[in-house]
Amino acid sequence: MNPYSLVRAKASLDEYHPNFTAMNLEEGEPVGLSTGLQAGAFLGLYLGFSLAVISVLTDPSQLGRLGGLLCTPPMIGAVLLGPFLARRRKPVDLGKRPLSHARETLTPYGEGRGRWRVLSHVKSDGMSIRIDMHDLTNLSGVVDAAIPLSNICSVKFIVGSGVPTSRQPELRQKVLDIVEDRVQLTRRKRSAKSIEISPIPTVKYVNQQRKINRALMILLPVFSFFAWLEMRH
């Protein structure tokens, strides 16, 4: 990989939008107390439903206990977890700014009408840049130029499924080899027809979410087991 190309692209980012590199997915507004309370209530409902199932299995006649288990945990979850969940931040919709800069950055790699062009092959959904790699000759050059953009928003390389019946069956592996050589494992992700590079803040968020899910998967069965022991008596 040519380090000078990355330096030039990064300098171009700063020059084109001085505050552009400061925008990332962590700088959105907080989700708010209302959404936080709803999320806390939903987690409480999930716990309450699990306990209600245990209650029905141990003693179906305890309808009062069943109703309490379905109604009380959501309220407790909203009160205890709502204020903390309310501080989580929304992703920022960067609109057309990443798209306009991505097209300007990749314009030198255009190959003319009927081949690869930025207007037809570089698009955006507001949260990520989508670069269709079909009809492109200089794969390495486009990947190198697009990598600095992934520091601000996700970049998806559309490469097809890679099966023999696809449009360019060899394209997926070629682009994948380039990306694997330039981008660390935690920032890249493969799907059926694309290869995605995520910003570092997104990687941190996903890792944090996985830790929370892992904690829930461990604590919920333990809590349910002790609740089952208590309900047996």
- Residue range 200-226, pLDDT digits in tens: 766 666 777 778 778 778 877 887 777
Which has the closest alpha carbon to 231: 44, 47, 57, 45?
A: 57
Cα 205 from Cα 209, distance rounded (Å): 6
- Residue range 8-47, pLDDT digits in tens: 444 444 433 444 444 444 456 787 889 889 988 988 888 8
Q: What is the mean pLDDT of residues 61-67?
A: 86
Cα 149 from Cα 106, distance rounded (Å): 11
Any bridge partners for residue 196, and if so which? 156, 189
Listed in sequence order, the residues at least 6 apart from 89 whose beta carbon sits closer than 8 Å to its beta carbon are 26, 27, 28, 29, 30, 31
Per-residue confidence band for 155, with pLDDT thresholds at 50, 70 and 90: very high
CA-based radius of gyration for the chain: 24
Cα 155 from Cα 148, distance rounded (Å): 10
Specify the pLDDT at position 180.
92
What is the DSSP code (8-state) at residue 147?
G
Specify the pLDDT at position 163.
87
Q: Are 4 and 142 contacting, i.e. CB atoms less than 8 angstroms apart?
A: no
- Domains of the chain by residue range: 3-27+93-198, 33-88+219-232
Specify the pLDDT at position 133.
94
The proportion of the chain whose per-residue pLDDT surpasses 90, expressed as a percent, equals 29
CA angle 135, 112, 158 (to 5 degrees): 30
- Output 220 or 163, whichever has higher pLDDT: 163
Q: Are 177 and 164 contacting, i.e. CB atoms less than 8 angstroms apart?
A: no
Residue position matching structure tokens 């604590």: 219
- Long-range (24+ apart) CB contacts under 8 A made by 216-225 are 220/47, 220/50, 223/47, 224/50, 224/51, 224/54
Specify the pLDDT at position 194.
93
